[in-house]
Structure formats: C-alpha cells, structure tokens
Amino acid sequence: MKKLAVVALGGNALLRDNQQGTIDEQEQNTTDTLENLVFLIREGYDLVITHGNGPQVGNILMRNDAGEGVYGIPQMPLDICVADSQGGIGYMIERMLRNVLYKHGIEREVVTLVTMALVKERDPAFERPSKRVGKIYNKEEADRIAAEKRWIFKEDKKREGGYRRVVPSPAPIEIINEKVIETLARQGAIVVASGGGGVPVYRDLEGRLRPSESVIDKDLASALLGARIGADEFYILTDVPFVYINYNTPQQEVKEFLNYNDTMSYLQEGMFGEGDMAPKIKACLQFIKNGGQKSVITEAFKLEDRSYGTKITMEYDK
C-alpha cells in the first residue's frame, strides 16, 4: 500500500505578514508552497492537504461588521464564516495545485471538501474563550459591542490599547467526512479538507448536528484526521525550518530528531511557546500517539530538502 501523508499548510503558506492579502499575493504564495509537494507526489504518496484560515476568516468577520454598520446586512455566525473561508481557500488551493500538476505533467485528480469537525457541546474550552478573531477595537468600541452582542473581548497582544473578540477553541473529536476523505485519498485523489480546523459542530440530544460558535485549532484537527484515516506521516508547514528548545536565548538549540518521550518532556517544561509552537508540538504528539509513524515540522519552502525539518517519531529514527 502506498504511503498516505497529511500536509497542513500554515497561514504563511497562503498569506505573509508583510503583505496586503490581495488575491494575486495569495495565489502566488499558494503556488510556491504547492511546488514543494511535487516530490511527495512523484514518490507516490497519497495526499490530504489541510490549511489554516486565520487572516481570511478575520477579513470575513470584518466584512460582516462593515456590512452590518453601513447597510444593515445581518451578520453571519462564525460557523458560516469558517465554511465561507474553507470554500474560497479550498478553491484557490485546488486551482493552483491543478496548474502545478499540469506544469509537471502529473495526472492526479484533486477534490476540495467543505469539512465539519465534531466537538463536545460542553467542552471545557467554552468556559475559557481564548482564540482571538476579527478586527481590533479600542476599549470603548469593545465595551459597546460586548454589551450589545454579549461577545467577550481581551486585550490584543500586538497593539497596545486594542481589543479583539475571543471565542472558544474546543478539541475536535471526529472529522465528519473522514471516511470519504480516506476513500478518495486511497484511490489516488489529492484531497483538500479540514480547512481552518473544520467547521465546528456538535450533536444535540436528538443526534442532530448543530453549529458551534467556536474555532478549532487547525493543526490538532489535521493530526486527528491523519490518525483516523491511518496516515503514515504528518507534515506541518510553517515559517521556521526547525523546532528549537530554549528559543531566543543563548542556550537556543536546534532539534532535528526527537522521540515522543523527550518531546513530551520539553513540552511540559515550557520549551515551546504556548501561542506559537506548543499547539503544533501537541498535534504532532497526538498523531504519533494514535499510530502515526512520523510527524515533521518544517519551513513551507524546504519540505523537499530532507536536511531541514524537525522529525518526531515514537523512538529515535535517524
């Protein structure tokens, strides 16, 4: 059986911090990133591609605000905004990937699935909203909106005196389309799925799917999907070539090879930034714990160069 890999595209793979976010910029970034997947395809891997949606869904929420304020257009709930971003980004990835495959003379089908992710209705995360979404407001605006809409705001780390809405980020427990995703991938189609962590839903007491006003961590959802479809390898493409311990200190150290136990120890010691690398490490460990052979964290444009990237396995595997 061919190897199956899940490749999670980080936000920088689509949009960079120093860019405006035009469609031309996003399409070029996406194409440049997808070029790095060609070697996996040539090596015969079956592929599932997941992606982030942070900047894009933030822009959708800002359009919500503008439309409501200027034209009185009713705001759409967060689950619809996530689904909107999944469809738009998925279309862009699929079109750019089809062009890359055509350029390299590779015949593979590509399919994009709007994907729901199941969460628990009473996940503890709903008691501690932490995921920042949408635009930055000043305190007066934040207080007014909080009173009107019962939204929760927290001070933004990037702008002093700025406040952003925070929403829960519950743990995904199932990817609704996982069986279809696995079937298509095993048949050779490259599947784009679980964008932005998936559209969060829960089951009510009658078993019906209901929308959840929350955002799911993209890497955790990707790791869960990988484990549940029996993927062999899990790649997180980000903006750094390696994982470091003691980052930004005189004791900074590159870790190219890690095993499960040592990585868990480093995580518990606080070696990885909680809002940055720690969620990625947790996702990699979850994938390995649930049967995956290898997790890799590497820079988006260095995937083909095996000398880059931090490889995490159950035991050391150099």
* Domain boundaries of the chain, sorted by first residue: 4-119+177-313
Is 280 catalytic? The answer is yes
Which member of 53, 131, 198, 311 is catalytic? 131
Tell me the C-alpha distance between 57 and 198, whole Å: 12
Per-residue confidence band for 24, with pLDDT thresholds at 50, 70 and 90:
very high
DSSP designation for 157: S
Rounded average pLDDT over 301-318: 85
pLDDT of amino acid 316: 67
Dump pLDDT digits (tens) for 65-108.
889 888 999 989 999 999 999 999 999 999 999 999 999 999 99
The pTM of the full predicted model, rounded to 2 decimals, is 0.93
pLDDT of amino acid 169: 94
Other beta carbons less than 10 A from residue 16's beta carbon: 15
- Residue 58, amino acid: G
Is 154 catalytic? The answer is no
Is 11 catalytic? The answer is yes
Which member of 11, 52, 195, 197 is catalytic? 11
Q: 313 phi and psi, to 5 degrees?
A: -130, 170
Per-residue confidence band for 303, with pLDDT thresholds at 50, 70 and 90:
confident
Which member of 280, 282, 292, 309 is catalytic? 280
DSSP designation for 74: P
159 vs 24, more confident: 24
60 vs 275, more confident: 60
pLDDT of amino acid 224: 98
Block residue for tokens 């949606």: 53
Per-residue confidence band for 14, with pLDDT thresholds at 50, 70 and 90:
confident
pLDDT of amino acid 15: 78
pLDDT of amino acid 192: 98
Which member of 10, 12, 134, 226 is catalytic? 12
Strand-strand pairing, 163-167 and 131-137: antiparallel
Decide yes or no: CATH 3.40.1160.10 for domain 4-119+177-313: yes
Rounded average pLDDT over 131-141: 87
Which member of 29, 196, 218, 282 is catalytic? 218
pLDDT at 18 > cutoff 90: no
Other beta carbons less than 10 A from residue 90's beta carbon: 23
Per-residue confidence band for 318, with pLDDT thresholds at 50, 70 and 90:
low
pLDDT at 317 > cutoff 70: no
